[in-house]
């Protein structure tokens, strides 16, 4: 297949922003939402969680970010900006070859977040959460990881800032992904297969389900218990939370800035929707343009399957 692009284009294969064009603030999409999301509830009282309650688990500054639904922008601390500059701004890539293969008039772009040592967008929030833990004077943080991307990102951030990093890795992934496990350990993290005998909840699960391969829920429970039972530690999480969505907004802010350089207005944005941090970070800066924007929430595997099926069909 000949993928050579023969005509002259003004839009390059990769659109890069200069360092001085990188966003210096995170965007809090909740501030502009007419209908605010439901608050976090205390599982015992079923009442909205207070800052005091959340501070037993999370870092104080991150709790403030979690509960704030009125401040539209948060300044990114200079130390985090300096760290970001080691791999950001990330490129916005024009998928010319895919367009040609699909024989489509659509202009397709993708934001590439794999250009850092951790291999994913997770590092955008990992460094922020580790930074606020360091600023609070904590000794370290605990977390869970499934496939290992979040654990890798956090171990890298903690190594940079000199924090202890304790990772509870789902047992089946711990055994199936030794290279990811060892990368975390190379960065200095303590990686424990979950469930383990190091926590009460882990021992209880092992007793009830001997030989279990573990689960993300179990690993989370162990990480939270470890953080709340040891002085100088807090729990951090790589998705789901509002604070994570805030940090990941840099993806969408950069994307919007790159598109604006060439006067491009997207009409459809597609993102993989798992825990929501990647999708939310990408789409949040575009959320106000409802007349111009359709947001399709799909799992990445579905998108890939559709593309492969289409390509195979056109080749018959």
pLDDT tens string 46-73: 999 999 999 999 999 999 999 999 999 9
What's the topology of domain 123-235? Rossmann fold (3.40.50)
d(CA 256, CA 47) in angstroms, rounded, equals 38
d(CA 172, CA 225) in angstroms, rounded, equals 21
Six-digit token string for 286: 């575009």
Instruction: Give me the pLDDT at residue 254, please.
Output: 98
What do you get for the CA distance between the two ends of the chain, in Å? 15
* Cβ atoms 171, 212 nearer than 8 A: yes
d(CA 290, CA 295) in angstroms, rounded, equals 9
Q: Left if phi > 0, otherwise alpha if psi is -120 to 50, otherwise beta: which for 263?
A: left
Confidence of residue 9 (pLDDT cuts 50, 70, 90): low
The yes-or-no verdict on residue 100 having pLDDT over 80 is: yes
Instruction: Give me the pLDDT at residue 307, please.
Output: 53
pTM: 0.89
| Phi, psi (deg, nearest 5) at residue 93 | -105, 130
The lowest-confidence range among 45-54, 125-134, 151-160 is 45-54
pLDDT tens string 171-183: 999 999 999 999 9
* Cβ atoms 163, 131 nearer than 8 A: no
d(CA 41, CA 47) in angstroms, rounded, equals 5
Domain ranges of the chain: 14-33+69-118+242-315, 123-235
């Amino acid at each position: 297949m000949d993928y050579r692009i023969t005509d002259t284009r003004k839009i390059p294969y990769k659109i890069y922003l200069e360092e001085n064009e990188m966003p210096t603030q995170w965007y809090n999409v909740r501030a502009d939402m007419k209908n605010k999301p439901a608050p976090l509830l205390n599982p015992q009282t079923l009442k909205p969680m207070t800052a005091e309650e959340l501070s037993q688990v999370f870092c104080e500054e991150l709790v403030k970010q979690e509960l704030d639904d009125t401040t539209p922008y948060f300044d990114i601390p200079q130390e985090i900006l300096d760290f970001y500059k080691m791999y950001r701004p990330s490129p916005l890539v024009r998928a010319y070859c895919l367009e040609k293969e699909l024989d489509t008039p659509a202009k397709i772009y993708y934001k590439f977040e794999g250009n850092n040592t951790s291999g994913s967008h997770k590092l955008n929030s990992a460094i922020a959460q580790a930074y606020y833990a360091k600023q609070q004077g904590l000794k370290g943080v605990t977390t869970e990881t499934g496939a290992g991307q979040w654990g890798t990102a956090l171990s890298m951030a903690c190594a940079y800032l000199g924090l202890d990093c304790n990772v509870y890795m789902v047992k089946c992934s711990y055994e199936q992904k030794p290279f990811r496990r060892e990368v975390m350990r190379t960065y200095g993290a303590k990686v424990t297969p979950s469930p383990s005998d190091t926590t009460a909840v882990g021992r209880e699960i092992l007793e009830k389900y001997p030989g279990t391969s573990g689960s993300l829920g179990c690993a989370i429970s162990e990480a939270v218990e470890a953080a709340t039972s040891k002085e100088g530690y807090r729990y951090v999480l790589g998705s789901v939370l509002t604070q994570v969505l805030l940090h990941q907004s840099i993806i969408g802010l950069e994307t919007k800035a790159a598109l604006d350089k060439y006067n491009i207005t997207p009409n459809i944005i597609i993102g993989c929707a798992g825990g929501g941090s990647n999708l939310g970070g990408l789409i949040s800066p575009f959320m106000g343009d409802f007349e111009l924007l359709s947001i399709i929430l799909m799992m990445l595997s579905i998108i890939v399957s559709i593309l492969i099926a289409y390509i195979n069909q056109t080749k018959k």
